[in-house]
Structure 1
């Protein structure tokens, strides 16, 4: 390519049919699009294509991103799902009466191969769903929150509104109800925090109202497998209790006996003892 007698560009066709350009010193420029942009510095890629084709380039509209889910999906529940879930929970020591109560109140649902613990808003809508697998495989995570779940809405197992227990997991909540019944007490209302480190549910105005109307609020602790883990969990529960005291002035705690992981394990052991006819 010349301007008068001066050579400015040299263009060569490669064996694959593509054209490439270099400048007069032999420095590579690239394909025809690159050549046009070298001739007109500052020209955009699409404008360079338009120069070569003689037609305007139609830009594609960017693909719209799927909106972020703000509510968990309502998973279908079959009779087989319910049967499998109840068999699993019976095996964990939970009574049929407590399962019936949890189902009636919307706290407990079932899906394929799992049980679901459901947190709802004031209108009864699903806002927070924890899924626990019945028979997790070696690479499965046994427990997870469904997409769109909001931990500001804890699953609540209704009971005596004057006594509130706060536990980490859904099976713990069911177990707390059975333990109270076994001891001849009215079952407490039980909230599922979702973990020792979770405190955002305490910012929910409905939860705060329930706290203020309760005579006693109890944070249920766990026994961990190492001293380090125990210290971390205890510190997290201490922060939960501190926040509750800010809201209502007092808060108690409870911990299972040494050698027992949590309230679910304690209830399971007691149910085994009852079935075996052993005394306390």
Structure 2
């Protein structure tokens, strides 16, 4: 389908007296990688759980592939796959047995299950470990198997809730490659992450939420432009980062900021000037949200 495959309007959810989602609006274009950024407790997992029909909203609406998550729940389930924060695999079975079991539970015949299992093992580079117990797998291998299980039946939308948390750099980058491949196949990938570099590398669109509210949405480039043109960093002789200052990027503003810094810090500090990163965006946006809540 064209247009937006996910539409969220005015979504609210609270548990007891705690407001977890406070009027969320999202529009996710078909065939994109959409990243949801936010600190712990921002409401990312709750939003994923609502969109995947695991939790009912208090207010607002969510449509997935044109189907309402409340009135068309069964059709929504047929349109999505979900990989949660923790690998949902049976450690006592082999990777091959895990996949074949899910294939059969998904309604595939024995012959179809065998074919699909081989395809997924090859695609996720698990063929060599196919007949080994999952309890011997590394974290990255378990995560790849978990995503493979989510794709036994191809769905237009895949939810990934912090898919690379706890993985080493090599395993994380291997999963990034898989996510890029899924996008190339036309699958919309909606992922939550705490890794700012991950959102920067993968996402076509990034939404930052804090305390249950959307504080910014845009491409990585658009969000970085909100921070400023250049960032000045000050380091001591031990290479410890002492301070960062945002600028407009103009020579005049950079010179002015350096002059201001020279009057209040040690002249022995080293200076580095760089482009804004997603870390700068995240800190700036969540800091502004905190300031508003305290004012």
Calculate the TM-score normalised by the size of structure 1. 0.23
More strand by share: 2
Larger RCO: 1 or 2 (CA < 8 Å, sep 6+)? 2
